[in-house]
Structure 1
Amino acid sequence: MRMIVSLLLVFAIVFSFAPHIFALENSASDEFDVLREKWFYQITGGRDFDVNDVDIKTYIRDNVDAKADDTYIGFVKADIQNGIDKRAYIWPDLPMVAQIANDRTASSQITLTYDRLKTLALAYNTRGSKYYHQEELKTDIIKALDWMYYEGRRYNESPYIGKLSKPQNATTPYGNWYDWEIGTPLRYLDTIILMYDELTPKQILDFMKPLDRFSPNVGNNTGANRVWKAGIVAESGIIQKMASKLVHAKGAMVEAFTLVKSGDGFYSDGSFIQHSYYPYTGGYGKALLVTVAPLMAVLHGSTWELSYPDHLEQKFYDMVFEAYEPFIYNGVMMDMVRNREISRAGGQDHITGRQIIRALITMSGVLPAGQKERSLSMLKYFIEHDTEKQIYNDPIGWFLEYYVALPHILEAKKILADNSISSRGELIKQKRFPSMDRVVHLRPGFAFGLAMYSDRVRTYEVVNEEGFNMWHTADGMTYLYNADVKRYSDDFWGTVDHSRLAGTTIGQIANPANNYRSGTANPNTWVGGTDISGLYGVSGMQLKNEADSKKSWFMFDDEIVALGSGITSTAGVPIETIVENVKIKDDASNPIVINGVNIPTDLGATKVNENVKWMHIAGNVAGSDVGYYFPTPTSLTGKKETRTQSWLLMNTYEKFKDPNPRTKSFATFWFDHGNNPVNAAYDYVLLPGKSVEETKAYSQHPDISIVENSQNAHAVKKSKLGLFAANFWNDIEYQVGNVKVDKKASVMVKESGGKVDISVSDPTQKNTGSIIVEVDAATGDVISKDDEITVLQSAPTLKIQVDVKGKAGQTLHIQLRKAASTDKMSASLHGDTNVIAGNSFSLTYGLEHVNDSLYAQDLTFTFDPDKVKFVSAKSAKQGFEIVGTKESQGQVRILGASFGEGKEVKADGDLVKLNFVAKPLHAQTEAAISLSNAVVSNGKGEETLLDGVSHNVSITYTVSVDKTTLNALIVNAQSTHDGAVEGSHVGQYPVGSKTLLQAAIQRAKAVADNTAATQQQVDQATADLESALQTFKSSIITSIPGDVNKDGKVTIGDLAIVAKYYGKSKHDSDWDLCKFADVNNDGVIDIEDLVFIARLIIVD
């Protein structure tokens, strides 16, 4: 009786709320239709766009139609017998029948089947497609959906979960849970949205039942999985017109948008972790963004808009710039945050980069004003630099939910056309991600990436037969991105020697398992670094794999300094540090120079190069050369090799496996530390973008000095920037250079412009107290500082206490003024230290330890007129003017003055920039520019004579450059150009082809006329012009378009032949006999071919 009363009470409560619940479900019925139409737009571009736009036409032809063509091949049509569809599958290669309980292949085939059905549904619903609203296709799609649910029962709500000997009409969620709950629903729901208007209410009702079984709610999923599930629930709610599902989806996004301190999700430093331990910004983080962006766009302005009272969504908006933007370079997404996705042959870095850019295009419309402007500026830069329009025209495949959709093109074109949007330009910054042990260093012309792991972050992930052989991708692997956009794509991962990755210190294990060391944590906690000014940084890791080692990277302006020490092993295997492993041209023709000598090109031969001071590897394209400087002359082992390998070494998962062998060439160089080394060390400097001559010059006059490379500390100084950086490895009081600490720490100090900047971090993230840092510099007032820093003393040295508890490796910063100096006022002269003969260079004059207010200066500079020529001088300080210049043999006198009170020189700084030209000598030499006389005066007319100062410049002799071949080729190309006629007849050249050839000739002339051009530049210009000339010659018209019967004219005879074969397509068995009548080569003989010939006949 008590139970009955309780049940009646429950029913009473439920029914008391029922009117409100039902009202909520039904009150927004019209709004659901609006949301469904918005979702339809996100997939197809809607129903109102210019089908004749060239980019849209190209997209529809090359993507929508081409993919539908391929997908339709092999499609098994319905086999209706007694009202029942008796076919066994939709495509014969996707039977969707499990052989074992954990049959991931069969479960993935369900996902792939719906992927193909979505492809066909997209073509059916895309205006301008040849399949648009084609009745036969519509029938095929709907009957396929019916079979999958009803007769085939491959995806329905059957509750059966158990053995393989199941009832024939049961759906068993065998294999990968992802396919049932995420992979299939993502494609399935989009297909329902696309075909919604063609389905009956009963079909829609039935087809949504599997979603209520497999993904009724978000559940306990985290990170990207949570967002996927939320998107699925939201899309289900829109189709079913259930407000409760949209409320649930919005609530579930709270966790996804909330920053975390451990586990899956976004971190305050911009890191993104999935599966607890793995950096995945470009993997699951990409999936999250690609899912959230359209969801935000669809729900924007609706009752269920993804906005929250505490503005939680703003944290996600911030991630656009903190998490995603730093990892996109030249349109590619850096591999070091893609984890096992790098093992997918069809999903290499450029594809992922474009997927993210397109998602950002979608999301830009919902960002608040300030961030929207910043986002559009960033996107405009990305789109402008997508020279091949791949953002517009990415082949549909692999993951259809990530494909380029028409809205991406439509919105991208609006961004380009909007003159009020300024392009961002190249991103210049240093960005560390301590929560996932990744670093990005972005400079003009290149980006440097660093991948490490710790006790917080694991090596790499192997899941679903993906991610094999990624053995050393977190062992300090370094990435260098430059003008060669295919450096890490174009089958890099499919062909590279996985045992030798750049930057790593490793042991050469014989035949390691394909999952060797996967999921491994680093027993050492010292993994991190610090940065300063948002431009420069230092990072390091204490690594333990086959060897123990301490590794650091110092990232400055145009160089990266790499140090290693304490390299010790008892594993009994060769221990190596890999300086470089770069994919070169397929023919391996890239010149490699060591100490000024071209090394032999014997492919596969390993050579030990002794006493190496510098090395240069020519890139595959202009702007991709790399120089290497070795501060300690060293033994360097290396080789060029051509490798043939299969992606199956990395990935055997059904969805992504690619068995086709690939062949690529590589140049690899490494330090061989031998077997069982004890405290071995290394040092080298990467010089991105430098030529052979520049690399050699740098090696003779390096901009950096290594202060220490020991078991206690790694430290480097760059005087030109006033920078000192050090990693302190031990919890002891230790001093290196002018910095002392009492704990493990990473420290940078920058002294310039009368200021001292100090950055400190706890790289271990385990210090629960503070770090005491003492710098040998007397300082004055604090300009700015983080709250965690306390100044203990400012003289005679600066001593600060840095509270690092709970800071998670974050950089803490303080800036102070230098104390007033009692040193004698002095002149300084600094600038270029190396110059090629015939080229210009500059020096800057300034004052240090200024102790007066100066209004006038009289300066005399002397130099050897046989080596250098003075060109000009200009002020380097606002308010300081040059009032007189007198040049004579070997010297120049300059008078400078500050006009009016408030403009006087009263602080240290640069004052005059002097420009010189090195004479065109034919031998290397040194030239000294000296300030031989310097008199300065204050406002009282009191003069002070300063001590002289001198600056040396190394002049590299002019190399004799042979331009004979280039000049002869220019004459030949110009003659060919001038004698050619453009038109449409045989023997003529296509309209516009002469313009392209002339442009190539002009580029070659520019190099030929450039007296400073190197032999490498001349050779490249010759090769480029030869290629352009060959392309031009091969474009000559050898037959008349439309001349089907090859009688030299276009007449009704040709029209008749095309008319005879009208309706034939490449799907017909006799296509080889009639395809000559396919005038426009689109795979079908149709009205377009007839119209083309008719127009030619009428024009003629």
Structure 2
Amino acid sequence: MIHPLSRRSALLGAAAVTGLALGDRPAEAVGRAAFDAARERWVDLLAGGTYHAAHADKTRAVEGSAHAVLRKLRPDHDRPSLWPDLPLDDPRTGDFNRAYNRMRTLALGWATPGTAMHRDEQVAETAARALDFLYEHAYHEKLDPRGSNWYWWEIGVPRSLTDTCALMYDGLPQDRLRRWLRPLRRWCPDPERRVSHPGVVETGANRASKAMAVAMRGLLTHDARLVKRAKDAVSDLLRTTRGPGDGFHRDGSFIQHDVYPYTGSYGVDYLESVAKLIAMLAGSPWAIPDSGKVHDIVDRSFVPFVFDGLMMDCVRGRAISRQGHRDYHAGQRTVEAILTLLEAAPERHARRWRPMVKGWLTRNQAVPYETLAPPASIAKARALLEDPSVPVGPRTTGTYVFPDMDRVVHRRPTWAFAIAMSSERIGAAEAMNRENLRGWYTGDGMTYLYTDDLTHWNDDLWPTIDPYRLPGTTVDRRRRADLRHGERRLPPTPWAGGVALDGGYGVAAMRLVAGGSSLRAKKAWFLLDDAVIALGAGITASDGRRVETVVENRNTHDCHPALTRGDDWIHLSGVGGYALLDRTAPKLVREKRTGRWRDIDKGATTGGDTTRVTRHYTTILVDHGIDPRKARYAYAVLPGASFARTSTYREEVEILANNGTAQAISRDGLLAAVFWRAGTVKTPDGPLAADGPCALLVHRDGGRARLAVSDPSRTAGEVRITLPWAVKSLGEHDRGVRRAKRAVKIELDGTRGRTRTAVLRV
């Protein structure tokens, strides 16, 4: 083994020796034990407490990464750099942040039982000299950030540095450890404030990450005030926000950067940090009160977006463009957090979570959990998988509306469908730090179909898919420049949201106001037990460009699978069917597309490589022509359907309206409608009317009907719904619902787009 730094004694400093001499005082002894116990729990979470032969492959991988870091270490004081590819002279490159990440990798190899370098004294001394070097040249309290990314100084390096010091604590000189941690007094003193922007109060994931760094510094330096400061910050994070903006909302939405849905990125950072902080501080003087609130957050905010261990891309924001952060990475971290929480979760949560997580791990063999997770988490996963008392849980089913982040998710036993919308409240797409450069349309009604092909979204889709033809969107064909850093587009319309009924039916709707274009459209999706019906109306533009609606754009990897088509339908083998319900002939494009991750992410620390990758795509379009005026579309997505059923599906559903006033369908006792304004829809049983904007579902079974109503526009104080049948009486109902002769009145003011339901006798 090569050790490029000279051997140095690891004697404790005089202050530390003095501290040990005073350790026989009972209060101080208890205090030190509490610090050490919490730190050791953290190390166990990161590296595992014991070696398991069953995890030998993962242990070797950890060792290989750590050894590569050690082998390439070449300190150069003149340049300066620790590794030739990471010069430390310009903080704007982010190389100093990468350097601390490498130190964490080395520390993980040192602390993981079973590696060849486990607790090796020479490796510890080498790491200590390297940390001395970084303190001198890259990260100390008197440095000028020189316009570099604040995140590296206040979160990135503090997290990597405190992890490194915790993992190698027993092998590092305590006086020098305190010196390396000294810069955190300046750069990360308080979880709640941002040093580089004093007016900013930290929220969500950033506060959680800072709390972790502050807590670890407190444990490492035996400073109870710091640990308490972190505990208090986490306790505040467990509260749901009552208004717009960052954090978790009552409906399960998670927002970061004021207007962007980020459950699957910043939200995962939050969950991971909070889960580990709860576990680390449990049983200590700083145990987090009300920690049980995080269990409800898991159910409400995370479970709807995890499909067989994959985190849906519709809530990953600009992270979709990061080559090294794919849906299975976010999913693995979510699973790891839930496994951590399971150790002390209340039984009402644990009895649901165990089968659920076991189902995720069992079904996802495309990217096995053990190839992603650290050894400590693998041990928990393996124990769960091998527990015969825990059944393999089925996929989550239900319809989930998140009005505070303009997202709707519809989940059936064999597939799931998500819709990403935007409005004056929620941004269409975030571009920051030169990431997500071509995510123009990801919030313009993009739809995400999940099937048994668990590699569809993560198999190099984002650098290869046509960014002008994302499924579900209606777009013109203008060429666009890359999104700029901090560019924010909030479409000037309040219309986006949905309604759900009985967990099996849903409606979503948005008014499209295209950015930089005259294109306008009214788009609605009707979510059924075996299909999604998409209607579009009022499609109008005047820029002299062609306008298209993208029914599907499927990544079929390395080939074009079998395809069958009729005049107004297409069946794609292994996926399902697509039926045009207005007898329009779909346009079909089959092509090989080549791209590079670098094309969509040029970030300093996340930027993709320049390797060219190629994937096959099947694209189904509705061509509205140049400058359409009040054009329409109507199609059905039929996941898993046979070509025979696809060819006849048009006969199974009735389109009742598709215009600028209302869009509505009927099928098997279900009426589903979007009223963009007051209007009436004819049904086989009589008129269905609303005197204001709303989305509604009515499911009739004999003399009983269940009604669900919401106002995605958030402009209606009250709406009167006239059903095709006389309303005899009102049964179980939400507050604000009342009978008015043959109609029903629903108070919607202040509901923030949430659903109100009622049971009616008709």
TM-score for the superposition, normalised by structure 1: 0.64
SS in structure 2 of the partner of residue 42 of structure 1: helix
| 2:529 is equivalent to residue 582 of structure 1 | no
The structure whose Rg is larger is 1
Deviations 1:720-742 (A, max 9, x none): xx100000011x35344332111
- In structure 2, the partner of 1:572 is 544
Aligned counterpart in structure 2 of residue 248 of structure 1, from 217, 229, 244: 229
- In structure 1, the partner of 2:563 is 592
Would the aligned equivalents of 1:713 and 1:736 in 2 still touch at CA under 8 Å?
Answer: no
SS in structure 2 of the partner of residue 304 of structure 1: coil
Aligned counterpart in structure 2 of residue 239 of structure 1, from 220, 244, 255: 220
- In structure 2, the partner of 1:58 is 57
Gaps in structure 1 of 5+ consecutive residues: 1-21, 80-84, 162-171, 395-403, 596-611, 620-624, 819-1100
- In structure 2, the partner of 1:636 is 586
Structure 1 distance, partners of 2:26, 2:121, is: 38
The CA RMSD over aligned residues, in Å, is 2.0
Task: Read off the aligned partner of 2:563 and give its amino acid letter.
Answer: I
SS in structure 2 of the partner of residue 190 of structure 1: helix
| 2:271 is equivalent to residue 271 of structure 1 | no
Identity rate, percent: 34
| 2:455 is equivalent to residue 483 of structure 1 | no
Aligned counterpart in structure 1 of residue 132 of structure 2, from 131, 140, 146: 146
Structure 1 distance, partners of 2:107, 2:79, is: 20
Would the aligned equivalents of 2:730 and 2:738 in 1 still touch at CA under 8 Å?
Answer: no
| 2:39 is equivalent to residue 39 of structure 1 | no
Task: Read off the aligned partner of 1:706 and give its amino acid letter.
Answer: I
- In structure 2, the partner of 1:447 is 416
Greater shift in the superposed pair: 111-120 or 415-424:
415-424
- In structure 2, the partner of 1:1098 is none
Task: Read off the aligned partner of 2:527 and give its amino acid letter.
Answer: M
Q: Which residues in structure 2 correspond to 1:92-171 (within 5 Å)?
A: 92-98=84-90, 104-105=92-93, 108-149=94-135, 152-158=136-142, 160-161=143-144
- In structure 1, the partner of 2:17 is none
Question: CA, structure 1 residues 626+388, in 2 after alignment: closer, same or farther (shift >3 Å)?
Answer: closer
Task: Read off the aligned partner of 2:756 and give its amino acid letter.
Answer: L
Would the aligned equivalents of 1:543 and 1:551 in 2 still touch at CA under 8 Å?
Answer: yes
Aligned counterpart in structure 2 of residue 734 of structure 1, from 660, 677, 680: 680
Aligned counterpart in structure 2 of residue 175 of structure 1, from 144, 148, 152: 148
Task: Read off the aligned partner of 2:69 and give its amino acid letter.
Answer: T
Greater shift in the superposed pair: 112-121 or 420-429:
420-429
Would the aligned equivalents of 1:434 and 1:810 in 2 still touch at CA under 8 Å?
Answer: yes
SS in structure 2 of the partner of residue 94 of structure 1: coil
Q: Which residues in structure 2 correspond to 1:262-301 (within 5 Å)?
A: 262-301=244-283
Structure 1 residue 227: Cα displacement = 0.8
- In structure 1, the partner of 2:13 is none
Q: Which residues in structure 2 correspond to 1:873-884 (within 5 Å)?
A: none
Give the structure, 1 or 2, with the largest relative contact order (CA under 8 Å, sep 6 or more): 2
- In structure 2, the partner of 1:765 is 714
Q: Which residues in structure 2 correspond to 1:435-514 (within 5 Å)?
A: 435-514=404-483
Greater shift in the superposed pair: 411-420 or 685-694:
411-420
- In structure 2, the partner of 1:336 is 314
TM-score for the superposition, normalised by structure 2: 0.92
Structure 1 distance, partners of 2:672, 2:305, is: 24
SS in structure 1 of the partner of residue 404 of structure 2: coil
Task: Read off the aligned partner of 1:350 and give its amino acid letter.
Answer: Y
- In structure 1, the partner of 2:701 is 752
Question: CA, structure 1 residues 254+461, in 2 after alignment: closer, same or farther (shift >3 Å)?
Answer: same
Gaps in structure 2 of 5+ consecutive residues: 1-24, 194-200
- In structure 2, the partner of 1:548 is 520
| 2:377 is equivalent to residue 411 of structure 1 | no
| 2:762 is equivalent to residue 812 of structure 1 | no
Structure 1 residue 455: Cα displacement = 0.8
Question: CA, structure 1 residues 33+676, in 2 after alignment: closer, same or farther (shift >3 Å)?
Answer: same
- In structure 1, the partner of 2:326 is 348
- In structure 1, the partner of 2:348 is 370
- In structure 2, the partner of 1:716 is 665
Task: Read off the aligned partner of 1:286 and give its amino acid letter.
Answer: V
Structure 1 residue 628: Cα displacement = 0.9
- In structure 2, the partner of 1:785 is 733
SS in structure 2 of the partner of residue 282 of structure 1: coil
- In structure 2, the partner of 1:661 is 612
Q: Which residues in structure 2 correspond to 1:960-971 (within 5 Å)?
A: none
Structure 2 distance, partners of 1:186, 1:230, is: 10
Structure 1 residue 58: Cα displacement = 1.4
Question: CA, structure 1 residues 133+659, in 2 after alignment: closer, same or farther (shift >3 Å)?
Answer: same
SS in structure 1 of the partner of residue 552 of structure 2: strand
Q: Which residues in structure 2 correspond to 1:1049-1088 (within 5 Å)?
A: none
Structure 1 distance, partners of 2:236, 2:487, is: 28
Structure 1 residue 350: Cα displacement = 1.6
Structure 1 residue 256: Cα displacement = 1.6
Would the aligned equivalents of 1:529 and 1:727 in 2 still touch at CA under 8 Å?
Answer: no
Task: Read off the aligned partner of 1:75 and give its amino acid letter.
Answer: L
Structure 1 distance, partners of 2:601, 2:149, is: 16
Task: Read off the aligned partner of 2:521 and give its amino acid letter.
Answer: S
Structure 1 residue 682: Cα displacement = 0.6
Structure 2 distance, partners of 1:777, 1:365, is: 52
Question: CA, structure 1 residues 449+389, in 2 after alignment: closer, same or farther (shift >3 Å)?
Answer: closer
Q: Which residues in structure 2 correspond to 1:824-839 (within 5 Å)?
A: none
| 2:181 is equivalent to residue 208 of structure 1 | yes
Task: Read off the aligned partner of 1:536 and give its amino acid letter.
Answer: Y
- In structure 1, the partner of 2:203 is 222
Aligned counterpart in structure 2 of residue 563 of structure 1, from 535, 540, 560: 535
Structure 1 residue 578: Cα displacement = 0.7
Structure 2 distance, partners of 1:569, 1:129, is: 63
- In structure 2, the partner of 1:399 is none
Question: CA, structure 1 residues 73+754, in 2 after alignment: closer, same or farther (shift >3 Å)?
Answer: farther
SS in structure 2 of the partner of residue 634 of structure 1: coil
Task: Read off the aligned partner of 2:103 and give its amino acid letter.
Answer: L
Task: Read off the aligned partner of 1:267 and give its amino acid letter.
Answer: H
Would the aligned equivalents of 2:564 and 2:570 in 1 still touch at CA under 8 Å?
Answer: yes
Aligned counterpart in structure 2 of residue 531 of structure 1, from 484, 493, 500: 500
Question: CA, structure 1 residues 470+750, in 2 after alignment: closer, same or farther (shift >3 Å)?
Answer: same
Structure 1 residue 465: Cα displacement = 0.8
- In structure 2, the partner of 1:317 is 295
Structure 1 residue 781: Cα displacement = 4.2
Structure 1 residue 374: Cα displacement = 1.8
SS in structure 2 of the partner of residue 415 of structure 1: helix
SS in structure 1 of the partner of residue 542 of structure 2: coil
Would the aligned equivalents of 1:469 and 1:516 in 2 still touch at CA under 8 Å?
Answer: no
- In structure 2, the partner of 1:882 is none
Structure 1 residue 777: Cα displacement = 1.7
Task: Read off the aligned partner of 1:117 and give its amino acid letter.
Answer: M
Question: CA, structure 1 residues 587+414, in 2 after alignment: closer, same or farther (shift >3 Å)?
Answer: closer
Structure 1 distance, partners of 2:159, 2:357, is: 27
Structure 1 distance, partners of 2:110, 2:646, is: 58
Greater shift in the superposed pair: 224-233 or 510-519:
510-519
Corresponding residue pairs, total: 722
Deviations 1:509-538 (A, max 9, x none): 124344499521111212112111111001
- In structure 1, the partner of 2:12 is none
Would the aligned equivalents of 1:259 and 1:315 in 2 still touch at CA under 8 Å?
Answer: no
Structure 1 residue 751: Cα displacement = 0.3
Structure 1 residue 342: Cα displacement = 0.3
SS in structure 2 of the partner of residue 178 of structure 1: helix
Structure 1 distance, partners of 2:540, 2:692, is: 23
SS in structure 2 of the partner of residue 418 of structure 1: coil
Structure 2 distance, partners of 1:733, 1:340, is: 39
Structure 1 residue 26: Cα displacement = 7.9
Task: Read off the aligned partner of 1:569 and give its amino acid letter.
Answer: A
- In structure 2, the partner of 1:420 is 389
Question: CA, structure 1 residues 127+408, in 2 after alignment: closer, same or farther (shift >3 Å)?
Answer: same
Structure 1 distance, partners of 2:141, 2:455, is: 46
